[in-house]
A and B are shown apart, each in its own frame.
Chain A
Amino acid sequence: MENQKILIELKDITKLYVMGVEQLYALKGINSNIIKNDYVAIMGPSGSGKSTLMNIIGCLDTPTTGEYYLNGKNVSEMDDDELAEIRNIEIGFVFQTFNLLARSDALHNVELPLIYRGLSKAARIEKAEEALFNVGLQDRMKHKPNELSGGQRQRVAIARALVNDPSIILADEPTGNLDSKTGEEIMGLLEELNQKGNTIIIVTHEEEISQHAHRVIKIRDGLIESDALSKKGNMIRERKEILI
């Protein structure tokens, strides 16, 4: 199938933390593939290594051993600046605490990845406005984060994640700081983006949230405990099989 293209390939990923004399393996050998346009939830209790895995997938960190191919490129051997470029172009982050620049308005926050990509002012404004429009914030562009509600802030963050047309949208507990109603809205938005063709990976410890995804990978003690389709994923697969 055409959209079965492998986007993320993790081979024997380990991550070792050394604190003084103590050595701690946060990841003990992760093997997994994620295909394009998938919607994956990574679950696990705190201390399981899921954040470490997310940092590696997001190219914020590199594995101690093992190989990580993103879009066919071996990311595990890249230096800081190459990783920065990959993050800029391939990955859109959505954080639990939104992580917007407090002094900048929504438009400028969304513009930021485009600035680092080196686009002209006119092109930046056009793309950023479009991204904000797509998350329904066309009339909040000139508002600063402290003038926006939590849900609106997270929408700005999603617009910022989308603006460079990344390969992956990586969301770390995207609803963790939101009330349940707003959380549902944000999850709806992510689902919509997935239907439009985006690959989405969310990291969460909430079972309920993970059920929005099509595939759930559970991590425990630095290893994959289980990797299975969710109810929704099963439904979609069945539907596809019927279609075929």
Chain B
Amino acid sequence: MNFFLEIKENLIISYKAITANKLRSFLATLGIVIGITSVTLMQTAIEGITRAFEKSISAIGADVLYVQKFEWFGKEDWSFYRNRKDITMAQFNYLDKNAQTAAIMCPSVGAPKTVKYNDLVLENVFCVGTTYEYQQTFGTNMEDGRFFTNKESEGGYPVVVIGTDIRKAFFENTNPIGKTLKIGSYSFKVIGVIEKQGSLLGLFSLDNRVIIPINRFFKLFGGKRGLTINIKAQDVKNMDESKEEITSIMRKARRVPLGENDDFGINQQEAFKTTFESLTALIKIIGTLITSLSLIVGSVGIANIMFVSVKERTKEIGIRKAIGAKRRTIMYQFLIESITICLLGGIIGILISFPISLIIDAYVLPTAMPVWVIVLGLFVSALFGIMAGFFPAWNAAKMDPVEALRYE
């Protein structure tokens, strides 16, 4: 008998069987509905967390390397890194001159400062000292005004570029450009506003910052500070090559003897991702396992109802066998019924979880149910249908036609 014909006929049979016992089929599939709803919502939530995380670290930049004396998520003790030598302007200049794989780089230092405008005071504003290359390194866009020029940067002019938090606090109704504010006790002229950048890991706002020329920073707040060298790589695909080159140049600049370990770190966004992924991997596994449990419980319910269905239809199986149904045909009949019930459960489950994912997206996490989760949900419910239906179907297939016909 033709395979597709067989499938088609069995679909019609299972449709009849399911509609003949609507309430029972619905109750049987409820477990699958709950299972698929929770599995798909779990996956959607994980997707949401991942997306939120990626958005929150996007400010770090995928193509930017940070040369610092600390290593992000380093394995050693804090004091181990603290005792390393600071990175100096001389090292920066040496690196800048020699690095071939870098598109552009800039040094930066930073410290929390109190910022005042007339009577308004903001404490703990992060004050960054850098060069005019900063804008290009980070691809920073201006909301208003401009970044400082090479001349202002070199000369250490008293100019400042502010973040949107500062603008909101000080210049709600006025144009900030040309106004003078105080960082610590020193006056700076506002020349630009950086467009909103959001926060890093949702923890600290990148808009609560003021950026000034690095030479001014050294002059006012002291020069004995460790630098961060921010490097934009030429090609995001060749980050490893860039890292290698920078490592060897920095070792030379810092006179690290052959055979010794690096006394600096080259950090990148990747480090956040790796740490995050090792953390979420566990959440993913545990979450998937727990939600799968409900699916397993659901499929036990289906298996149970399929055994009942086979028992109830013993006579029908006998009739079908008597007039020529083979084992395989009977097997398919019940397998397809089981798959159909489970798939219906899966579809209902997705119809429930999809709108919930939209609500989560709107109010909790930026997420959307990915298509693969929907496909996976349907695939998994069909798979559970096969698992739940296999033994009942096998029981039906191997029935003795004489005994089945005698069954009342």
Chain A positions within 8 Å of B, measured between CB atoms, are 55, 58, 60-61, 80-81, 84-85, 87-89, 93, 95, 99-101, 103-104, 112-113, 115-118, 120, 160, 164
B401 touches A115 (CB 8 A): no
Which residue from B5, B9, B16, B324 sits with its C-beta under 8 Å from A103? B16
Q: In whole Å, how far is B387's beta carbon from the nearest beta carbon of chain A?
A: 25
B320 close to A (CB within 8 Å)? yes
With A80-B327, A99-B405, A101-B316 given, is the CB distance from A60 to B20 under 8 Å?
A: no
B325 touches A116 (CB 8 A): yes
Q: In whole Å, how far is A34's beta carbon from the nearest beta carbon of chain B?
A: 20
B371 close to A (CB within 8 Å)? no
Which residue from A93, A117, A118 sits with its C-beta under 8 Å from B322? A93
With A81-B326, A87-B322 given, is the CB distance from A117 to B405 under 8 Å?
A: no
B315 touches A99 (CB 8 A): yes
Which B residues lie within 8 Å of A104 (CB)? 16
Which B residues lie within 8 Å of A112 (CB)? 320, 323
A60 touches B2 (CB 8 A): no
Closest chain A residue, CB of each to CB of B2: A118
B323 touches A81 (CB 8 A): no
Q: Roughly how many angstroms separate A164 CA and B315 CA in the complex, as a whole number?
A: 22
B329 touches A116 (CB 8 A): yes
Which A residues lie within 8 Å of B402 (CB)? 55, 60-61
Closest chain A residue, CB of each to CB of B8: A121
B324 touches A60 (CB 8 A): no
Which A residues lie within 8 Å of B315 (CB)? 99
B84 close to A (CB within 8 Å)? no
Which A residues lie within 8 Å of B326 (CB)? 80-81, 84-85, 116
With A81-B328, A99-B315, A115-B5 given, is the CB distance from A87 to B405 under 8 Å?
A: no
B321 close to A (CB within 8 Å)? yes
Which B residues lie within 8 Å of A55 (CB)? 402
B90 close to A (CB within 8 Å)? no
Which B residues lie within 8 Å of A89 (CB)? 324
B9 touches A115 (CB 8 A): yes
B1 close to A (CB within 8 Å)? yes
Q: Roughly how many angstroms separate A35 CA and B279 CA in the complex, as a whole number?
A: 81
Q: B1-18 CB contact bits vs A (8 Å, 1 = yes)?
A: 110010001000000110
A118 touches B1 (CB 8 A): yes
Which B residues lie within 8 Å of A120 (CB)? 5
Q: Roughly how many angstroms separate A80 CA and B325 CA in the complex, as a whole number?
A: 10
B1 touches A116 (CB 8 A): yes
Closest chain B residue, CB of each to CB of A85: B324
Q: Roughly how many angstroms separate A200 CA and B325 CA in the complex, as a whole number?
A: 23
B1 touches A117 (CB 8 A): yes
Q: In whole Å, how far is A105's beta carbon from the nearest beta carbon of chain B?
A: 11
Which residue from A100, A118, A160 sits with its C-beta under 8 Å from B5? A118
Q: Roughly how many angstroms separate A104 CA and B324 CA in the complex, as a whole number?
A: 17
B401 touches A60 (CB 8 A): yes
With A60-B405, A103-B20, A115-B5 given, is the CB distance from A93 to B328 under 8 Å?
A: no
Q: Roughly how many angstroms separate A118 CA and B326 CA in the complex, as a whole number?
A: 12
B383 close to A (CB within 8 Å)? no
Closest chain B residue, CB of each to CB of A90: B324
Which A residues lie within 8 Å of B318 (CB)? 99
Which B residues lie within 8 Å of A116 (CB)? 1, 320, 323-326, 329
Give the most central of A85, A89, A100, A115: most B CB within 10 Å.
A115
Which B residues lie within 8 Å of A80 (CB)? 326-327
B321 touches A84 (CB 8 A): yes
The 9 closest A-B CB pairs, nearest first, are: A88-B324, A116-B324, A118-B1, A84-B326, A81-B326, A113-B323, A99-B319, A60-B401, A60-B402
Q: B310-349 CB contact bits vs A (8 Å, 1 = yes)?
A: 0000011011111111111100000000000000000000
Q: Roughly how many angstroms separate A111 CA and B322 CA in the complex, as a whole number?
A: 14
Interchain Cβ contacts under 8 Å between A and B, 26 examples: A55-B402, A60-B321, A61-B400, A80-B327, A81-B326, A81-B327, A81-B328, A87-B324, A88-B323, A99-B318, A99-B319, A99-B322, A99-B405, A101-B316, A103-B17, A104-B16, A112-B320, A115-B5, A116-B320, A116-B324, A116-B326, A116-B329, A117-B1, A118-B1, A120-B5, A164-B324
B324 touches A101 (CB 8 A): no
Which B residues lie within 8 Å of A101 (CB)? 316, 319
List 18 extra interface pairs beyond A99-B322, A116-B325, CB under 8 A. Answer: A55-B402, A60-B322, A61-B400, A81-B328, A84-B321, A84-B326, A85-B326, A87-B322, A87-B324, A93-B322, A100-B319, A103-B16, A103-B17, A112-B320, A113-B323, A115-B1, A118-B2, A118-B5
Q: In whole Å, how far is A183's beta carbon from the nearest beta carbon of chain B?
A: 21
A93 touches B327 (CB 8 A): no
Q: In whole Å, how far is B79's beta carbon from the nearest beta carbon of chain A?
A: 78
Which B residues lie within 8 Å of A61 (CB)? 400-402
A87 touches B20 (CB 8 A): no
Which B residues lie within 8 Å of A113 (CB)? 323-324
A84 touches B325 (CB 8 A): yes
Q: In whole Å, how far is A15's beta carbon from the nearest beta carbon of chain B?
A: 11
Q: Roughly how many angstroms separate A80 CA and B324 CA in the complex, as a whole number?
A: 10
Q: B287-329 CB contact bits vs A (8 Å, 1 = yes)?
A: 0000000000000000000000000000110111111111111
Closest chain B residue, CB of each to CB of A164: B324
Q: In whole Å, how far is B324's beta carbon from the nearest beta carbon of chain A?
A: 2
Q: Roughly how many angstroms separate A81 CA and B9 CA in the complex, as a whole number?
A: 19
Q: In whole Å, how far is A195's beta carbon from the nearest beta carbon of chain B?
A: 25
Q: In whole Å, how far is A206's beta carbon from the nearest beta carbon of chain B?
A: 21
Q: Roughly how many angstroms separate A99 CA and B326 CA in the complex, as a whole number?
A: 18
Closest chain A residue, CB of each to CB of B20: A103
Q: Roughly how many angstroms separate A164 CA and B323 CA in the complex, as a whole number?
A: 10
B323 touches A87 (CB 8 A): yes
